[in-house]
Structure 1
Amino acid sequence: MALSGRKVALGAAGPLGALVVAAIISAAILLVTKHNPFEAFGAMGGAFSKSRVLIGTLNQAASYYLAAVAVAIGFKMNLLNIGVDGQYRLAAMLAASLAGSSLMDGLPSFVRVGLTLVVAMVVGAFWAGIAVWLKVSRGVSEVISTIMLNAIATAVVAYLLSPGRLAVQSGNNLGTAVIPDAGLVPTIAVGGSITPIYTLALLAVVVGVIYAFLLNRTIFGFSIKATGMNPAAAVASGISAKKMAVSAMLISGAVAGLVGMPELLNGPAAQYSINFPAGLGFTGIAIALLGRNHPVGIIFAALLWSALDSSSNSLQGVGVPNQLVTIMQGTILLAVVIAYEIVRRYGVGLEQREVARALAATQKQAVAA
């Protein structure tokens, strides 16, 4: 097998092996609880015969992808940005407040949308910047600071999202002012489905392309990867580890700020409320790990995670608790960590045997000469 083909095969072996292991464990759990695994998996697969489930999977995968890329950027630098969840929620709330305020009246639609996206990115970058400032100036672990900043972001959102501040009461719902049509992005209607395609799912495509180009085609991307792999060697070669840490964390936070934008500007609610999706940042960590922080790998991981979420309701039709999906997701994440290590060791062994064979062939040629 050619080297490139081997890399592709080994790269796919980890997640595929984890998926198989998760399916086996889930089937065993179903059997123990006296449920038919074939009926359960059949119901999950059959759910995708409905166009609304397929479209919902695609829309959700876009947000998952953005969250995973935000996490992956930090991972490349050996920074654990656990604060994506707080960054995107705070960014979405403040961006929604601006988009629904009278300050935006009279502006062209593309300007309003553009300003909303910029504000979200700035807020996300600012919140992530606090953590990296504490790291480079005070040596505070970004894991601790970002976890604490998640809690602070939750408190800030709760404080601001109240009547008399940035929220308005509408029945039992509490949220920011509804964004007018001029501040929203049109969706793509699909015949036969009440669920439209979010056009802002294209944000995930744009971010993915920029992420891939940045990492693989720029000196900046090389510096980030080099610093993440070996900080001492990177510093010795003239790369500023602190500068790279700040840059990576700010970019990570800016991408995190975009996570809630498809739901905010394409979703039916058109506002940030207490019902706004939460937890996407933590899901992004799992998807980044499953996709090995690779821009293409994350696509498949996000689609898989979203597909499992979308098919969970179909389990109730066959009498299986939809918590089975959560078990599968957790098992996949646990199995993939183990599978990656097994595959890595196998790949190292293959390379060592190839080197040994090459050296032996060279020695034979030298002796023959």
Structure 2
Amino acid sequence: MKKIDKERLILAVAAPVLAVVFALLLSSAILLASGRNPVEPYALMVDYATVNPDVQVLIVNRTTTYYLAALAVAVGFRMNLFNIGVDGQYRLAAMLSAAVGTAVPLPGGLRIVVIVVTAMLVGAAWAGIAGVLKATRGVSEVVSTIMLNAIATALIAYLLQPSLLGKRLEGSNDLTTGELPESAWLPGIPTGTPGSEIYGFAVVAVVLGVGYWFMLNRTRFGFDLRAAGASESAAAASGVNAKRMVLTSILLSGALAGLAGMPLLLGEAHEYNLSFPVGVGFTGITIALLGRNNPVGIAFGALLIAFLDVASQTLDYNGYDKEIATIMQGLIVIAVVVAYETVRRWGLRRQQQRVGEELARANHTKVKEVSA
């Protein structure tokens, strides 16, 4: 059985914990400076989330969406790629898969499969544009994916025209792809509260998290991905095609991004319209950083951010601005960067100390043997 390295475990946990604590302290300082109670908003949010089962379900459902978006970002991070285009990939995939789902005359279960596969293919194809530019022309994926986000927004607005894929609701200016047949709605997980169910796609998210861990740690592809992300030249020396890994990883990232819209589309909305959530991809970046690209860490990060999003709604009714939660999320991002760098430097110094101690011990043993 593999022995657990306690120091390594502590280092892995220390950075996100320090980031959250720092964000809490700084948010409290801002509240105090503005003459507000620095603790009450957090107590209000915790109380709101713990006494309302409906709120708890909403938090879990939002966590599912955020988790999938963060996994998409994490795959890119592992390859040292910054896929900022997850938001555009997820929205374009949700729109086109919803349009396909309303158009194809298939039985419910098969229709769901077609919707999900379409979402993955669209997300992968849209991300693949940036991957091809990166692999063949050396174009920064940061620049290309930001531009593709804007293009995706314009393309969605264009395709939702009634003359193309969209429908205008009677008596309204809202544009939609049309509602999916009820047979294509993915059943939810009952919670005991009438009308309140956890998205059925939450099960798929858990399976994908396990699959992500297995791929990274138990497959040759995962090893190649981590190796190429750490050093392209070293990976190339060991026979890894770095350009192919760039393209493959960004396609995989885009496919996961396409799935981020499925919990809401199949579990609640059942159609795509212009009110579909925006910014999910950017939230995924925060969560992937907070969770250190680890599937378990990402789950806790997604739960925290979902809690801040949902529970902050109660602040408006208690004399506080709900933007406090948004400030906290921004501070977490800054704190994550600072905390990771601090922990990394401490870990490096500690590693150097351990090497020095081992060398000194070996030298001492050698002197004793010579003396004997």
> Scaled by the length of structure 2, what TM-score is found?
0.95
Letter in 2 for 1:292: R
Distance (whole Å) between structure 1 residues aligned to residue 39 and residue 141 of structure 2: 44
Q: Which of residues 62, 65, 76 is equivalent to 1:63?
A: 65
Give structure 1 regions of 4+ aligned residues with deviation exceeding 4 angstroms.
none
Query: In the TM superposition, what is the alpha-carbon distance from 1:191 to its structure 2 partner?
Result: 2.5
Distance (whole Å) between structure 2 residues aligned to residue 192 and residue 297 of structure 1: 29
- Equivalences for residues 56-95 of structure 1 within 5 A: 56-95=58-97
Aligned to 1:350: 350
Aligned to 1:152: 151
Indicate the SS of the match to 1:81.
coil
Q: Deviations over 1:149-199 (max 9, x none)?
A: 111111110001121211111124221110011111111232335432101
Letter in 2 for 1:330: G
Query: In the TM superposition, what is the alpha-carbon distance from 1:201 to its structure 2 partner?
Result: 1.3
- Equivalences for residues 195-274 of structure 1 within 5 A: 195-267=196-268, 269-274=269-274
- Equivalences for residues 62-211 of structure 1 within 5 A: 62-101=64-103, 103=104, 105=105, 107-170=106-169, 171-192=172-193, 194-211=195-212
Distance (whole Å) between structure 1 residues aligned to residue 140 and residue 15 of structure 2: 30
Letter in 2 for 1:208: G
**Equivalent residues of 1:52, 1:193 under 8 A apart:** no
Letter in 2 for 1:206: V
Distance (whole Å) between structure 2 residues aligned to residue 368 and residue 5 of structure 1: 31
**Equivalent residues of 1:39, 1:318 under 8 A apart:** no
Distance (whole Å) between structure 2 residues aligned to residue 153 and residue 366 of structure 1: 67
Structure 2: give runs of 5+ residues left out of the alignment.
none
- Equivalences for residues 284-299 of structure 1 within 5 A: 284-299=284-299
Letter in 2 for 1:293: N
Indicate the SS of the match to 2:189.
coil
Distance (whole Å) between structure 2 residues aligned to residue 188 and residue 353 of structure 1: 51
17-26 or 89-98: bigger deviation: 17-26
Letter in 2 for 1:281: G
Query: In the TM superposition, what is the alpha-carbon distance from 1:140 to its structure 2 partner?
Result: 1.4
Indicate the SS of the match to 2:272.
coil
Distance (whole Å) between structure 1 residues aligned to residue 247 and residue 196 of structure 2: 40
Q: Deviations over 1:247-273 (max 9, x none)?
A: 101111110110000000001x31000
Distance (whole Å) between structure 2 residues aligned to residue 110 and residue 189 of structure 1: 19
Distance (whole Å) between structure 1 residues aligned to residue 317 and residue 36 of structure 2: 12
Indicate the SS of the match to 1:149.
helix
Distance (whole Å) between structure 1 residues aligned to residue 219 and residue 79 of structure 2: 15
Structure 1: give runs of 5+ residues left out of the alignment.
none
Asked if 1:331 corresponds to 2:331, the answer is: yes
**Equivalent residues of 1:52, 1:194 under 8 A apart:** no
Distance (whole Å) between structure 2 residues aligned to residue 190 and residue 142 of structure 1: 42
Q: Deviations over 1:182-235 (max 9, x none)?
A: 111111232335432101112211111111111100011100110110101111
Asked if 1:322 corresponds to 2:355, the answer is: no
Query: In the TM superposition, what is the alpha-carbon distance from 1:3 to its structure 2 partner?
Result: 6.0
Asked if 1:37 corresponds to 2:38, the answer is: yes
**Equivalent residues of 1:22, 1:331 under 8 A apart:** yes
Asked if 1:6 corresponds to 2:29, the answer is: no
Indicate the SS of the match to 2:197.
coil
32-41 or 227-236: bigger deviation: 32-41
Query: In the TM superposition, what is the alpha-carbon distance from 1:124 to its structure 2 partner?
Result: 0.5
Q: Deviations over 1:8-46 (max 9, x none)?
A: 111111111111111111111111222112221110110
Aligned to 1:281: 281
Letter in 1 for 2:273: S
Indicate the SS of the match to 2:175.
strand
**Equivalent residues of 1:71, 1:288 under 8 A apart:** yes
Q: Deviations over 1:70-109 (max 9, x none)?
A: 01111111111111111111100000001112x2x2x222
Query: In the TM superposition, what is the alpha-carbon distance from 1:53 to its structure 2 partner?
Result: 1.1
Distance (whole Å) between structure 1 residues aligned to residue 54 and residue 93 of structure 2: 28
Query: In the TM superposition, what is the alpha-carbon distance from 1:6 to its structure 2 partner?
Result: 1.4
**Equivalent residues of 1:90, 1:124 under 8 A apart:** yes
Aligned to 2:368: 368
45-54 or 168-177: bigger deviation: 168-177
Indicate the SS of the match to 1:100.
helix
> Scaled by the length of structure 1, what TM-score is found?
0.96
Letter in 1 for 2:131: V
